[in-house]
Structure 1
Amino acid sequence: MKKRKSKQVQREDHKLIVQNRPLSPLSEQFRMIVENIELMSIDQRIKSIMITSADPSSGKSIISSNLAIAFAQKGKKTLLIDADLRKPTIHKYFRKNISLGLMGLIKKDTTFESAIIESDTANLSVLQAGLIPLNPATIIASERLKTILADLEEKFDHIIMDTPPILAVADAQILSGITDASVLVIRNDYTVTERARKASSRLEQSSKLFLGAIFNNQKQKLDHYYYQDDK
């Protein structure tokens, strides 16, 4: 069992392409996305960016992670937040330490200094989800979360927030209204066109600024449905 776990950790960390292979064409694509976002921020503030998808297993968490690394590599003080309080994933890519994370901050069980973890990438910090709550949608819509986000925006140049699929639950739609911008991840040959349009429409209606979609060609094994309980 220990050997199997070790292989899993290595495989997940390997997906941080921008960190592990900064000169690859894929890393360059992430840097181009960062450049485009910075150009758009000339006319309006884009500090906090919410990443979501139409469907589960679309690769939004690894897109969020690599995008955060790309911002950090430009010298921007960047924070990656796992705001998926249902099935958090970010901790699989950044296993340096475990903290009480976002839920710890919301419940006032920890401080910013203890909850935020420094990554191996310069300028990049990570705020894990923490313990999974019973009522994630209520917590996401709380004034406490808005206060935390406002405080974090004072501390960082950019905040990348990984969230649940927008067509699965209400969380992402709520968060799109309190972040500066939103991005939709669409997995090629997986996301049905009509669902992609529906997700885009929701983001256009609820977001302060919908930046557009990132198409992900990543092939993934679908072990189980995103929000299905493991049995």
Structure 2
Amino acid sequence: MTTNPTHSMDANVQDPSLGEILRRTKGLTGEQVDQALEYQRAHGIRFGEAVVALGMARPEDIIWALSQQFHYPYAPVSERSLNDELVVANSPFSENIEAFRDLRTQLLMGVMAEGDNRRPLAIVSANSGDGKSFIAANLAVAFSQLPGRTLLIDADLRSPRLHEVFGVEASPGLSGILAGRTEPNVIKPVGHLPNLYLLPAGVQAPNPAELLHRAAFSLLLRELLAKFDHVLVDTPAATHGPDARIIAAHCGAAMVIGRKGESRVKPMQELVAHLNKSKIHIAGALVNEY
């Protein structure tokens, strides 16, 4: 979905919340807000356009302020350099990002549908470098832009990286919970995305497959499903061992990721065949072009 900044300023020009948001985030004074309102009336334009015309803010600042007004959170301009991989958070109005919204809709109407059999979704891939964590992170951001709370679990206990993507502490995390330790503050809120939370992988353990096999993982997922509206689980590549298949079996649903021009059909087919043996609901296969 492509959004022109000019067309993005079509909220109610008299809505005081927009002016209040700009006062809070851009430091506009009450006098500047009044000046912008006078300019808006004199020129017959929108309030946001008046603020930009007077040099009080940039078009992207108005878009961000409107996103807060309409409860559509994404990373403000000042934070975008910290999270380059989070394209859905950084550029939510880009045409390419519409693919994540479409995928979100398909999942909500399919394997992640509301009901008694609501499931977490495991994001799996055959090989390293397929962009699985990139897809998991951005899909989680897309879910967080809906009402309700979204949890992303980093279950890659071999080479976790989601804590780096979201800029949170790596531990405590999932490995400690599965090892039977009581971990305080294990679920981390993600800054600037108030509906999104991350459960990081935690300290790297020498026995990841054995930890993931434990029934405690299924119990944990059921508990988290009761507390969060949407739960996504990142996994290690299938080439690293059985971890991804174990995680998908606990979740009961999985989506397979491949990379355009690099992933081979046979390894992906083998992964799907393994998942089918466990009667896992497969959401489909996604070819990553990023």
Same fold (TM over 0.5): yes
Residue in 2 that maps onto 1:39: 109
Give the alignment partner of residue 89 of structure 2, picking from 19, 25, 30. Answer: 19
Residue in 1 that maps onto 2:45: none
Residue in 1 that maps onto 2:189: 118
Shift of residue 156 of structure 1? Answer: 0.6
Give the TM-score taking structure 2 as reference length.
0.67
Residue in 2 that maps onto 1:70: 142
Distance in 2 of aligned mates of 1:190 and 1:98? 30
Over the matched positions of the two proteins, sequence identity in percent amounts to 32
Distance in 2 of aligned mates of 1:82 and 1:171? 12
Residue in 2 that maps onto 1:150: 222
Map 1:1-231 to 2 at 5 A: 13-40=83-110, 41=113, 45-111=117-183, 114-120=185-191, 121-218=193-290
- Aligned residues of 1:80 and 1:161 also touching (Cα < 8 A): yes
Distance in 1 of aligned mates of 2:147 and 2:88? 14
Root-mean-square deviation over aligned CA pairs: 2.0
- Aligned residues of 1:12 and 1:92 also touching (Cα < 8 A): no
What amino acid is the match of 1:119?
V
Distance in 2 of aligned mates of 1:131 and 1:124? 22
Shift of residue 43 of structure 1? Answer: 7.7
SS at match of 1:204: helix
Give the TM-score taking structure 1 as reference length.
0.84
What amino acid is the match of 1:114?
N
Distance in 1 of aligned mates of 2:273 and 2:92? 34
Q: Are residues 138 and 98 of structure 1, via their aligned partners in 2, closer, same or farther at CA, if it must alter by over 3 Å?
A: closer
Distance in 2 of aligned mates of 1:98 and 1:83? 12
- Work out the number of aligned pairs and report it: 209
Q: Are residues 18 and 148 of structure 1, via their aligned partners in 2, closer, same or farther at CA, if it must alter by over 3 Å?
A: same
Q: Which has the higher contact order (CA 8 A, sep 6+)?
A: 1
What amino acid is the match of 1:107?
A
- Aligned residues of 2:128 and 2:239 also touching (Cα < 8 A): no
Q: Stretches of 4+ moved more than 4 A in 1?
A: none
Q: Which range moves more in the overlay, 77-86 or 188-197? A: 188-197
Q: Are residues 150 and 18 of structure 1, via their aligned partners in 2, closer, same or farther at CA, if it must alter by over 3 Å?
A: same
Larger Rg: 1 or 2? Answer: 2
What amino acid is the match of 1:87?
S
Q: For structure 1, which runs of at least 5 residues remain unmatched after alignment? A: 1-9, 219-231
What amino acid is the match of 2:188?
I
Shift of residue 69 of structure 1? Answer: 0.7
Shift of residue 199 of structure 1? Answer: 1.6
- Aligned residues of 2:179 and 2:211 also touching (Cα < 8 A): no
What amino acid is the match of 1:130?
G
Q: Which range moves more in the overlay, 120-129 or 95-104? A: 95-104
Q: Are residues 103 and 66 of structure 1, via their aligned partners in 2, closer, same or farther at CA, if it must alter by over 3 Å?
A: same
Q: For structure 2, which runs of at least 5 residues remain unmatched after alignment? A: 1-79
- Aligned residues of 1:46 and 1:180 also touching (Cα < 8 A): no
